[in-house]
Amino acid sequence: MARPWRRRFGRSGVSRVPIATFAKAIASNRVPARVRAAYAYEDAAEHTFDAAHRRDMACIYEMPIAHWQTVQRLLHEEAQRLPEWRQTIQGLDDSPAKLERKVREIELADTIIVPSRFVLDSLPAAVRAAKRCVLAPFGAPSPSARAEPSGRHDGGPLRVIFAVAMTQRKGWATSLPRCGSSIAATSSSSSSAR
Q: What is the pLDDT of residues 126-159, one digit of tens each?
A: 999 999 999 998 766 666 666 666 565 666 666 6
pLDDT at 15 over 70: no
Interval 71-97 mean pLDDT: 89
Q: Are 31 and 9 in contact (CB under 8 A)?
A: yes
User: Quick check: pTM over 0.85?
Assistant: no
Enumerate helices (H) and strands (E) in the chain, giving the number of each: 8, 4
Average pLDDT over residues 36-49: 89
What pLDDT score was predicted for residue 174?
75
Beta bridge partners of 114: 135
What is the structure's pLDDT at 153?
Answer: 61
Bigger pLDDT: 75 vs 175:
75
Cα–Cα distance measured from residue 27 to residue 105, given in angstroms and rounded to the nearest whole number: 17
Average pLDDT over residues 21-46: 80
Q: What is the pLDDT of residue 191?
A: 45
Asked whether the beta carbons of 141 and 90 are under 8 A apart, the reply is: no
What is the pLDDT averaged over residues 178-189?
61
pLDDT for 115 beyond 70: yes
* Helical residues (DSSP H) of the chain, grouped into ranges: 4-9, 19-27, 46-54, 68-81, 96-108, 117-122, 125-130, 172-179
DSSP helix/strand/coil, 113: strand
Non-local (6+) Cβ contacts of 148 within 8 A are none
